[in-house]
Structure formats: C-alpha cells, structure tokens
Amino acid sequence: EPEVTQTPSHQVTQMGQEVILRCVPISNHLYFYWYRQILGQKVEFLVSFYNNEISEKSEIFDDQFSVERPDGSNFTLKIRSTKLEDSAMYFCASLLGNEQFFGPGTRLTVL
C-alpha cells in the first residue's frame, strides 16, 4: 500500500539554526500539507500546497517558514531560524479524494 514517508524521524537542532524537513507524498496525490503537533496538544495546520504553489497558510506559517517541491516528488518544509517553541512533531500529509494520509512525522527538538 502506498504511504507518505518523512525524513528524518527525529531532528535535534540549536536555536537559530535552519532545518529542512522532508516528505515524499503518495505519487498520484495532488494536495500536500504540513501540520504540527506540540507535545500533548492538538494538531495545527501550517500550510497547504497545490499545483506547485501555496493554496492556504495559517498564522503560524510566518516568514520563518517556507515550502518547496523541488523535484516533483519531495515536499520540504524549511524553518529558517528555529525557536524553542518550534519544538513539535511535524506531519506531512497528502490528499486524494476523501482520504488525507499522514506521514509518520518528524520530531523536531530545538535546544
């Protein structure tokens, strides 16, 4: 069964450093999303991406965040200068029809 994959599974970084989280969505899906979940809290939407451009973003997705689909298969989330409060689980998701499949997540720890 096709699945969304994410790398790395866990990333530890120092405050102020740049991180890139990578996702490979399911190949025939058209919509891609990033969500995050701070430990013990609910899942929050960051950004959606369709037809090679951002279709919607939340207030969390400020200038420190960016997304790219560099090569037609990978979908990346970049955080330019990480803050302590960016520590969370980051989920990539892709959508076809009525099923939005999530990847296993990347746990980001900012020290």
Interface ranges with another protein (CB under 8 A)? 31, 33, 35, 41-45, 48, 50, 55-56, 58, 89, 91, 93, 95, 98-105, 107
Distances from the Cα of 110 to the Cα of 16, 81, 82, angstroms = 9, 10, 7
Least Cβ distance, residue 27 to another protein (angstroms): 18
- Residue 91, exposed/middle/buried by CB under 10 A (0-12, 13-18, 19+)? buried
How far is the C-alpha of 14 from the C-alpha of 23, rounded, in Å? Answer: 22
Nearer to another protein, 35 or 86 (CB): 35
Compute the Cα dihedral for 50, 64, 99, 70 and give only its sign. Answer: positive
Nearer to another protein, 82 or 106 (CB): 106
Least Cβ distance, residue 80 to another protein (angstroms): 22
Nearer to another protein, 14 or 41 (CB): 41
